[in-house]
Chains A and B, each alone.
Chain A
Amino acid sequence: MDRYLLVVSTVCFLAAVVHTAIELRAGVFRPMRFNFFAVALGFIFQTAFLSMRGHELGRCPLTNLFEVFIFLAWSVAAIYILVGPAYRLSLMGAFTAPLVVLLQGFALLAPIDIRHPVRVPSNPWLEFHASISLVAYGAFALACIAGVMYLVQERQLKTHHLHSIFYHLPPLTDLFAAITRLLWWGFALYTLGIVSGFFTGHPLPRVQVGAALGVWLLYAAILQGRHLRWLAPKRVAALCIIGFSAALTLLWGITFTAQMHSLP
């Protein structure tokens, strides 16, 4: 039953993707409220799914890779709904929806929804660590999306070839302000996530901790580079994409390793 909710949610996000693709192809892209409502509706179904799964498990639904991906997709949608309205909501939705479709589509199609044979006991610190880290990943994902938008806009301005989407993208300086804020929020939450990981009571796997600190250092370097004006906005936008790819790979690694060792 709960998977049906997820399918409906994915269809909502897919509708936003298809709508945008059709309009872009026709050269008549208009950032109307359709994307925002499609994402908001998808978010409601995501929340319903996570709620049902949480009640079923008796804890935060982060016990396998499938749930981790859905939680991440939920974080992305939640932050978009919170942040999007400040930065041309529908357009950011047009860029957010494909990422959510990819995450949820993969989670639904891949055989990764492996239930634990025994009920996993609740561990508040572990649940806090996992959930806050995933919300941080959501902020990094949005920074990555804003980075893509920045690079698209920048490229058009540099080459002097303006597509119809150019007129719907936010100004470069506004986009960069959004990237910077999202990076700071993501970094603060990620730091909190790492610190809380030390209180879970579980033995800390060195490789995972090392990789997590590597991602933390990468984002710290981006923010410091920007703060000291060593990095141009374009480089920061590109690094946001690289950083999120690294973070996503790490997330996969952590969850996969945890599943291999039957750890929640």
Chain B
Amino acid sequence: MNLFCIGLSHHTVNVATREQFARGATAESIVREAGCTEALLLSTCNRVEVYAVSKSRISTDEIARCLLRKIDTDPHDYAPPFYRYEAERCVQHLFRVASALDSMVVGESEILGQAKKAYESARTSGAVGPYLHRLFQRAFRVAKQVRTHTDIARGAVSVGSVAVDLAQRIFGKLSCCKVLVLGAGETSERTARALISRGVSDLRVSNRSTDRAVELAQTVGGGFVAFHEWPAQCREIDILITSTASETPLLRERLDRPLFIIDIAVPRDVDPGVNDMEGVYLYDIDSLQSVAEQSLALRRQQVAAAEVIIAEHVTDFVDSISRGLHPAPQTVEHASLGKNSLRASEL
């Protein structure tokens, strides 16, 4: 029995190349056409990968043909470097993928859901057998353990989520926070949505263009505040998201409760000196970006700790199924899909 993984990812090819693969392909079609006993197709924006089990060795080109079979474009233009991992390296690779160590944004949470969805889809179609079942169940367990025992998923890495994260560090529960969105731009909307998703219920929108403010207020389920009235609102709000080139709000020190100002306007709406006031926390677009970068750096520091957990699981998993799976001598092979083989497949 051979366990292997063949794929393309953001590490090896760009998105334009990745998107040409796996269109219309399914785990079931790979099993049928390539002659695998089990197969699973993981297709996300970052990767196209096939995990498969076969009785005899199946070449990388054969799998690549299955992935390419439905594209309309001339296949001669493509010669992407498929990577191939076998046996133990395949197990390790999947554990790393599921734990988001191989993702473009290290520690992101989407990949685990995508892997579960891919598994479920392949299982429903009957393409997953006992080996891939055990492999993926273990991968989900490993991913959970990595997320629990390291800081790999700690900290937000986008401007909107950083703002929400910081708001939670200041106020704890956001359900009691009053939010004023000043300026109804795209980033403001995203940040407002993120705050609502974390429990904010009192959200007010003010904008020079009344129509746009009303539209955004209705979209996010908030209230509308006339533009000339927003300075009065500053006295009672907890979070101010500003993205309009207006005059600096007249703020006094906040001694009763904190005020979190998210200034995403360029040029900035709020004087940086406001951050020196007691109880006021001012973040502009650069500082939000800087926090996002710090979070990413923090996540990268956790990779080594995550690798230790993964290594333990790989050894344990390989031992537990070694009777059923005989690793091929070649563990990693970077293969390329040659033009000739493509032509042959067409013929």
Contacts and interface: CB of A to CB of B under 8 A. Distances in A.
Interface stretch (A9-17, A107-115, A165-173): A165-173
A172 B169 contact: yes
Given A160-B287, A160-B291, A164-B151, A173 B172 contact: yes
Contacts of B256: 229
Chain B residues touching A, range: 20 to 34
B154 interface: yes
A106 interface: no
B302 A28 contact: yes
Interface in A226-264: 229-235
B255 interface: yes
A114 B172 CA distance: 49
A185 B49 CA distance: 60
B150 interface: yes
A173 B294 CA distance: 24
Given A171-B171, A234-B279, A28 B151 contact: yes
A186 B214 CA distance: 51
A27 interface: yes
B275 interface: yes
Nearest to A162: B294
Nearest to A225: B255
B160 interface: no
A2 interface: no
B170 interface: yes
B137 interface: no
Contacts of B291: 160, 162
A56 interface: no
Contacts of B298: 27, 164
Interface in B138-184: 149-151, 154-155, 166, 168-172
A202 interface: no
B279 A157 contact: no
A30 B279 CA distance: 28
A234 B170 contact: no
Contacts of A230: 255
A172 B255 contact: no
A232 B258 CA distance: 9
A174 B168 CA distance: 11
B305 A162 contact: no
Contact of A167 (B155, B255, B281, B287): B155
Given A160-B287, A164-B301, A172-B169, 13 more contacts: A27-B298, A30-B149, A157-B166, A157-B169, A160-B283, A160-B291, A162-B155, A162-B294, A164-B298, A171-B172, A173-B170, A233-B279, A234-B278
23 contacts: A30-B149, A157-B169, A157-B281, A160-B283, A160-B287, A161-B294, A169-B169, A170-B172, A171-B168, A171-B170, A171-B171, A171-B172, A172-B169, A172-B170, A172-B171, A173-B170, A173-B172, A173-B258, A229-B255, A229-B256, A231-B255, A233-B258, A233-B279
| The 3 A-B residue pairs with the shortest CB-CB distance in the complex, in nearest-first order | A171-B172, A232-B278, A160-B287
